Structure 1
Amino acid sequence: MQTTQNLFEQFKLNRQLLNAIEEAGYTEPTPIQEQAIPLALAGQDILGIAQTGTGKTAAYTLPLLMRIKYAQGKDPRALIMAPTRELAMQISEAIMQLGKYTDIRTVVLYGGVGPKSQIEALRKGVDIIVATPGRFMDLYFQEEIVVKYLNAMVLDEADKMMDMGFMPQIRKLLEIIPTKRQNMLFSATFSEKVERLSHEFLEFPTRIEVTPQATTAEMVSQCLYEVPNFRTKINLLSYLLEDKETFNRVLIFTRSREVAGLVHQNLLNRVVPEAELRVIHANKGQNTRINAMEAFREGSIRVMVATDVVARGIDITEVSHVINFDVPLIYEDYVHRIGRTGRANNIGQAITFMTVADEYHIRKIENMIRMEIPREELPDDLEIVQTPQLENQDMLREIDNQRRREDPTFKGAFHEKKKVYRPVTKSPGKEGKGRRGAGGRSKRR
C-alpha cells in the first residue's frame, strides 16, 4: 500500500511541499486535485467546476507554490482573487500551511480594515497576493502594487464574484495585468455569467468538472419544513436547538443582517446562552467576525447565525447542521450554504424552513439540484403561531410578484380577490399543526 507521501509524489512536487502535505494529514489527492494539479503544473489554463469542500484550494495553491519555488524580488508573481475577506483569509492560511517549508511570502488584502498594515506588508516584499477585488484595485491605484511580474492568476468562487457585482473590477484588473500569464478559474456553478467571464479570462482552457453542476454534497442529508410565518420559524428553530447533543455545531443562514439580528436576539432570550452563540454579517467589524469564526472553528461556540456574504469563507470540518432560516434568493447559494456541513467525510444535515411565499424559490432550487428536498412534518408539540395580517399580506403580494414574473399578463389575484386571501383568524389547534398550519398552504388559492 502506498504512503500518503507517495500518493502526492506522482505530481513531482518538491520535498518542501511534500513534507508540508504529509504534516497537514492529507491521505490522498481529492478528484479535483488529481485532475487539476498536473494540468496546472504544465502551465495550462484551467476552468474548474467544483463545490466548496472538495479540496480545490490545494488544487491551485500547490502548483503555484511549485511554480514560484522561493522568494524573489519585491513584487508579486501570482495573484489569487476571492469574493469575500473570509475566503481570502482562508486561502492565505492554506498557502501558509502548504508553503511552511519555503520562504515564499504571501500577503492577504481585503477591505473592512485600514490599509496601513497591508501596505507595510507589501513594501517588505511579496510573492503571492490573495485579495478581494475592491481592496486590490484601491492599493493598485495608490501605486502600492506593481503588476508587471504577475505570471499566474486565479479567480476563486467566480460565481459569487458575479453575484456580488465585482465584474467591473475584474475587467479593469484584466486590462492592467500582463496578458502572458497562466489563468485558473474555479466556480461551484457554471452560470451564463461565469461562462462569459471564462471566455474573457481563459485561453484554451481545460475544463474539469468533478461533480455535476450544482449538485449537493453526498455526505449531506437534506430536509425541509413548511412553516406559516416568522414567529413559527423562531419557535421551530428554538425547538430544534434544545437538543444540544444532536445540534452540537450549527450554522444558521438568513437573507439579511436585520433578520440575523432578530434570530440572534430571540435565541439569546429563549434557548442558547450568550457564551454559545454568535452572529456575523457585513455590519460586524472585521475583528469581531474573525474572533467569532475562530471560536466556532474551535468548538467553543455552538451556534453561529450568518448571512450569505460570509458563507464562502467558513471552512470548518465538523459543522453538524446547516439551517436555512430563510430560503436564499440566489439559488446557487443553497449549494454553498449546505456545503458548509458534510465536509471531510463527516455526515451533515441541512434543514430549510419554507413559507408559502418561498415555494416558488424552492421549486427553482430543486430544479437546479435535480432532486426534491424531502419534507418533514412539524413536531406535534411545536407552538404554531397565527400569522399576523401584515405578514400574511406581504407573503401574498410576493406570490403575486412571482406569478407575474412567470406570466407578465397576470393581473394580481391579491388585488383582484382579496376576500380569497383572508388571513387566518382561528387559533390553531392540534389539527392546525403540521403542513397546513396558520397562514400555510391551506389558505393558498
Structure 2
Amino acid sequence: MGVPFDDFKFNRQILNAIADAGYTEATPIQQKAIPPILNGQDVMGIAQTGTGKTAAYVLPILMKLKYAQGNDARALVLAPTRELAMQIEENIRKFAVNTDLRTVLLYGGLGPKTQIESIKKGVDIIVATPGRYLDIYLGGHIHTKPLQILVLDEADKMMDMGFMPQINRILEVVPRKRQNLLFSATMSDKVHVLSGNFLEFPTVIEVTPQATPAQTINQSLYFVPNIKTKINLLKKILDRDEEVKKLIVFCKTRTAAEDVYKFLVRKYDEDQVKVLHANKGQNTRINSINSFKNDEVKILVATDVASRGIDVTDVSHVINFDVPIVIEDYVHRIGRTGRAYQHGEAITFCNPAEEYYLQQIEKLIRQQVSILPIPEDVFIEETPYEERQEQAREIDMQKRRDDPDFKGAFHEKKERVEKKKPLGRKQTLALKHGKPKTTRGKSFKKRG
C-alpha cells in the first residue's frame, strides 16, 4: 500500500501540483528517497526506470529551493541523453507549476546561443547533458558558487557513454559543500567507483534487486534463425492488432532500425510509424517522441539512444528485434512498458549469434525468459550465405572473448590458405606461355 503524499513535509503549492498531475500515493522509491533528501543527506538510489525515481528527487528539491532566488542555479541535474534531460525538465515544470522557480534545459545538437540567453535571465535549476553544461561553463556563462544540490541521473548509462571525464571535470568546478544524489538502474563497477568519489556517507536505497525488471512486465523469447524470419514473426505479432495498443521496436543499429521502419511503413503508413536513432536531427527526434506520447503514432522503431528518454505510461508492448550487446540496455528497453503499475509485454527475437548475450542478460536479471515456439503459420526463411557467415564470425568472436587461445574456424581456414604460397611473376609468365616452371629464378631446363 502506497503512502499518501500528504505524509511528507511538502507545502501546499507542491501538493496541489502533485494532485493536478493525477498522483495520490508515493511509489516505493519515492517513499524511501524523499525523507533523506529533504533532510539534506547524500542519497544513492538503485531503481529501474518506470518506478517514479525522477519525482523521488525532483519533489524534495523543489521543496528545498521553494522560490526563485538570485540569478544562478542552486540545483544541477545531469542526464546522459538529451531525451532524458527533456523528460526530467518536463517533470520539474509539471511539479513546479505553482511556484516561480526557473528551470533551464541544456543539451547539444543545436546552437548554445538561446540556452545562454535563458541562463542570463536567471535560473534556479539547470537540467543538462554533461558535455553541453561544460561547454557553456567554460564559455564563462555559468557561475557554480551558489550550487547546493547536484544530481546524476542514469549514472550507469553515463559511464557506458564515456562521460566520466566530463563528470570529473564538473566535480572539480562545483562547490565541495553540496548535497549529492546519484540514481542508477544497475550497480556496475564503474558506478561503484563513481559513487565512492561523489557521495559522502550516502543513504543507499534499492527498491528492487539490481537490474530486476518490473514485476508488471511479462517477458518472452523466440529463437529466430535470421532477419527475414524476424520480419515475418514481427508481422504475425502485429496482426494480433487488438492486443498491441502501443509498441516500441528496439534495434541494435541504425541500419536495422531503418529497415524495420521501411517494412512497417509498407504494412501501415507513415502516419502510424516513427523511427528514432542518432542520425535523425534534433527536431525530428523530439517530434517522434511527442507524436508517440500523444497517441498520434502507434509504433516507434528505435535504437538504444531512445531507451532511457521515453516516459510514456501506456506502452503495451516492447519488441527487441535484436538482443542488445550492452546487456544492461535490456532492462532499460523492457522498462519502457509496464510503467506506473500497468501490465506490459516484452518480446525478444534471438538469432544463433545473439544467444551469448541472452545468457548474459539472464544472469544479470537473475531469471530465465520464457521461450515460445514460432507460430506454425510464420514462414521460416533459409538463412542467406552472407548472414550465416556473419553469425559464424560473431560466434567465433564471443568464444575468443571467453577463451583468448580459441582460434576459430575462420582463423584455421586463413592459416591453411597462408601456407600455400602464391606463384611468382616469372612462374606465372612461364605457365602462361607453356614454358617449364621456374622456382625463385632456378630453371628446370636440361643444361647444355
TM-score by length of 1: 0.91
**Structure 2 SS opposite 1:312:** coil
Give distance in 2, aligned partners of 1:27 and 1:10.
Answer: 11
1:255 to 236, 248, 252: 252
| TM-superposed deviation, 1:9 | 2.4
Q: Which residue of 2 aligns with 1:289?
A: 285
1:364-443 superposed matches below 5 A: 364-416=360-412
Asked if 1:46 is matched to 2:38, the reply is no
Match of 2:435 in 1: none
Aligned pairs for 1:21-100 (under 5 A) are: 21-100=18-97
Q: Distance in 2 between matches of 1:273 and 1:222?
A: 28
1:110 alignment counterpart:
107
**CA distance in structure 2 between the aligned counterparts of 1:415 and 1:267, rounded to whole angstroms:** 39
Q: Show the counterpart of 1:209.
A: 206
Match of 1:200 among 197, 201, 205: 197
Q: Distance in 2 between matches of 1:147 and 1:312?
A: 28
Tell me the equivalent position of 2:310: 314
Name the count of aligned residue pairs. 414
One-letter code of the match for 1:105? Answer: R
Q: Confirm whether residue 170 of structure 1 aligns to residue 158 of structure 2.
A: no
Structure 1 outlier segments of 4+, above 4 Å:
none
Output the CA distance in 2 between the equivalents of 1:117 and 1:242. Answer: 46
What residue is the counterpart of 2:181 in the other structure? 184
- SS where residue 313 of structure 2 aligns? coil
Distance 1:321 1:272 in 2: 17
Give the counterpart letter for 2:230 in structure 1. K
- Alignment partners' CA distance in 1, 2:403 and 2:282: 44
State the Cα deviation string for residues 69-128 of structure 1 (Å, max 9, x = none).
Answer: 100111100000000111111101111111111000000111112212111111110000
Partner of 2:328: 332
1:417: Cα distance to partner? 7.5
Q: For residue 13 of structure 1, what is the aligned residue in structure 2?
A: 10
| Higher mean C-alpha deviation, range 178-187 or range 294-303 | 294-303
Q: State the secondary structure of the residue aligned to 1:214.
A: coil
Q: Does the Cα contact within 8 Å between 2:83 and 2:308 map onto a contact in 1? A: yes
For 1:215, give the aligned amino acid: T
Q: Deviations over 1:5-61 (max 9, x none)?
A: x92222211111111111111121111111111100000000100000111111101
1:356 maps to amino acid? P
Match of 2:136 in 1: 139
1:121 to 118, 121, 130: 118
Return the offset for 1:286.
1.2
Which letter does structure 1 place at the counterpart of 2:157? K
1:441 aligns with none
Query: Quick one: distance in 2 between partners of 1:194 and 1:263?
Result: 34
Q: Distance in 1 between matches of 2:231 and 2:410?
A: 27
Which residue identity lines up with residue 329 of structure 1 in the other structure? I
* CA distance, structure 1, for counterparts of residue 223 and residue 356 of structure 2: 13
Distance 2:243 2:113 in 1: 44
The residue type paired with residue 253 of structure 2 is S
Structure 1, unmatched stretches of 5+, are 419-445
Asked if 1:303 is matched to 2:299, the reply is yes
User: 171-180 or 283-292: which moved more?
Assistant: 283-292
Instruction: Percent identity, please.
Output: 60
Indicate the structure (1 or 2) with the bigger Cα radius of gyration.
2
Deviation per residue, 1:188-208 (Å, 9 max, x gap): 000000000000110110100
Counterpart-to-counterpart distance in 1, 2:398 and 2:117: 51
Deviations 1:174-222 (A, max 9, x none): 0000000000000000000000000011011010000000101111001
Give 1:222-301 correspondences, 5 Å limit.
222-269=219-266, 271-301=267-297
The 2-side partners of 1:93 and 1:400 are apart by 46
Q: 1:131-168, CA deviations, whole angstroms, 9 ceiling, x for partnerless residues?
A: 00011011111111111110100000000000111000
Q: Which amino acid aligns with 2:308?
A: R
Task: Give how far 1:415 is off.
Answer: 4.3
* Cα RMSD (Å): 1.4
One-letter identity of the residue aligned with 1:280: L
**Structure 1: which amino acid aligns with 2:200?**
E
Measure the CA separation in 2 of the matches of 1:328 and 1:155: 24
Task: Give me the whole-angstrom Cα distance separating, in 1, the residues matched to 2:386 and 2:365.
Answer: 33
> Which TM-score applies when normalising by structure 2?
0.90
Do 2:5 and 2:24's aligned partners in 1 also have CA atoms closer than 8 Å?
A: no
Corresponding residue number in structure 2 for 1:423: none
